[in-house]
Amino acid sequence: MGILAVACLGYLAFTTVDNNTATVIAGKAYNATVYVAGHGGHFAKADVTIDPNNSENPIKVNNLDKVDIGDTKTHKTHDARIDSANRDTMFWSTYALDPQGKMHVGKSDLKSGKVIKDLAIDPDPRAPGKTGPLYCASGQTKSTFMPVFMGKEAYVDVYDKASMERKHRVFLSDLGYKPDTYMFLHGINSNDMKKFVLAVTMIGADKKPNGKNDIILVDLASLEKGKLKELAKVTLTGEPGKTITFRQYFSNDNKYIFQSAGDRIYVLDAATLKIVDEKMTTAGQAHDAMPSPDGNYALVTLRTSDTIGCDPEGKALVPEKKITDGVLTLYDVKAKKIVGKPSSVCFACHKGMGLGDKTAILCGLDANYKK
């Protein structure tokens, strides 16, 4: 026991987050502030350096902080969406009902970290969401924020960005989907504001994910007006119970869609929806995939299970405890491979706060890249 405790203290000493400012690296590297959604009522705010030349550890977390929107009981969130017109504003929505039975949609000032607006909303009678899940993904136009309700019945809301007034609620059933045929819905806009992609996780007769996921392109102008106009559709087939579509991104040039899918990520041709690449994510379950501004790489969020043998003070845990951590991993678009080891954006901070034995559940991300 004593030896194990000493080993644990040594581990903690050598895995503390580096709070120094990112240094300039020779060659092509990226610096970004990444906002990762979690169940703690906050977003992890990670200043990272991405160096693809470092084949072992391409993602370095230089500083780790958080942006609070509420607390664990009221503001569990999966959704980070930075305003395309104002990169200092981030919209968000919540994944679970608060103790008063309300859903939340809001926006925050990233400079101050303060909440600008927080709407407490009654669940829709068609989607009461008593046990969740609620909102997870989202998209936007120049003037509207569109949180996507991932549960049943699934729908897309349309909120005016300035007033935060809800304009429309558009149900997935408008495309012919019955609630007993699917499990989850996610979606996002293209960067030219012309299309919106929807990802639907299908279920079998046993009500479990059957490995089939429908990817649907709809017209964004119509969606903004409260209508679903289908442009293209494809069904992706993976492994039942494991291939589950979550959040996604278009590349900046709108040529590709980076689709997280649990046990893998897909890179899709954004015009035809054909698979360009399909990569397994053996380090954890993929929940989002965001390409770099030049489209050469993508940051992927993973939920990964880790076994710890000590608490934050180094006291041995017998038996050892298995927790969930949130990590970022790097995907090389041209090489079509995942590069190096993932980097934690949850557990490292939790340890520093004395929460090293607590599970951290991450999901979506958004980022501001530095020129």
Angle CA 154–227–146, to nearest 5:
55
Residue 355: is its pLDDT beyond 90? no
Residue type, position 335, single letter: A
User: For the residues 5-25, what does the mean pLDDT come to?
Assistant: 35
- Predicted confidence at residue 359, as pLDDT, reads 54
Question: 318: number of CA atoms within 13 Å, CB side?
Answer: 6
At residue 321, the pLDDT reads 52
Q: Could you tell me the CATH number of the domain that includes residue 289?
A: 2.130.10.10
**Contact call for residues 49 and 333 (beta carbons, < 8 A):** no
Higher pLDDT pick, 9 / 173: 173
State the residue range of the domain holding 301: 2-21+30-370
Asked if pLDDT for residue 231 goes beyond 70, the answer is yes
Instruction: Select from 265, 260, 263, 314 the least CA-distant residue to 288.
Output: 260
CA gap 100, 371 in Å, rounded: 43
- 75-85: per-residue pLDDT in tens? 999 999 999 99
pLDDT for residue 20 is more than 90: no
Q: Residue 348: its pLDDT value, please?
A: 63
- Write down the H helix ranges in the chain: 2-14, 220-224, 347-352
Q: Tokens in use for 243?
A: 């291939």
pLDDT above 90: percentage of residues in the chain: 76
Number of domains making up the chain = 1
Q: What is each CA distance from 327 to 106, 122, 263, in whole angstroms?
A: 25, 33, 15
- pLDDT reported for residue 127: 95
CA dist 228 and 226 (Å) reads 7
What is the average pLDDT across 199-213?
A: 97
Task: Tell me what the mean pLDDT of segment 47-65 comes to.
Answer: 94
Q: How far is Cα 169 from Cα 298, in angstroms, rounded to an integer?
A: 31
At 313 the pLDDT is: 53
Q: Are 137 and 186 in contact (CB under 8 A)?
A: yes
What's residue 324's pLDDT? Answer: 62
- Cβ neighbors of 162 (< 8 A, separation 6 or more) are 143
Q: Long-range CB contacts (< 8 A, 24+ apart) of 180-185?
A: 180/207, 182/152, 182/154, 182/214, 183/209, 183/244, 184/133, 184/136, 184/150, 184/151, 184/154, 184/244, 184/245, 184/246, 185/137, 185/148, 185/149, 185/150, 185/154, 185/155
Mean pLDDT of 314-338: 75
pLDDT of 344 = 81
**Whole-number mean pLDDT of the chain?**
87
How many Å apart are CA 230 and CA 300, to the nearest integer? 28
User: What pLDDT, on the 0 to 100 scale, is given for residue 343?
Assistant: 83
Residue 24 clears pLDDT 50, i.e. is over it: no
> How far are the Cα atoms of 36, 89, 270, 312 from residue 247, in angstroms, in the given order?
12, 20, 15, 32
In three-state secondary structure terms, 201 is strand
Quote the CA–CA distance of 164 and 145 in Å, as a whole number: 8
Measured CA distances, 221 to 114, 192, 196, 226 (Å)? 31, 11, 9, 9
What is residue 12's predicted lDDT score, i.e. its pLDDT? 34
pLDDT in tens, 331-352: 999 999 999 998 887 666 655 4
Q: Is the separation of the CB atoms in 104 and 75 below 8 Å?
A: yes
| Per-residue pLDDT tens digits for 281-304 | 988 899 999 999 999 999 999 987
pLDDT, greater one: 316 or 36: 36
* Burial bucket for residue 206 (CB in 10 Å: 0-12, 13-18, 19+): exposed
Q: What is the pLDDT of residues 100-136, one digit of tens each?
A: 999 999 999 999 999 999 999 999 999 988 878 999 9
Strand partners, 223: none
* Tokens coding 256: 């590709």
DSSP state of 367: E
Total length of the chain: 371
| Predicted local confidence at residue 315, as pLDDT | 58
- pLDDT of 38 > 80? The answer is yes
| pLDDT, tens only, 162-190 | 999 999 999 999 999 999 999 999 999 99
Residue 306 has a pLDDT of: 59
User: Would you state the pLDDT for residue 283?
Assistant: 84
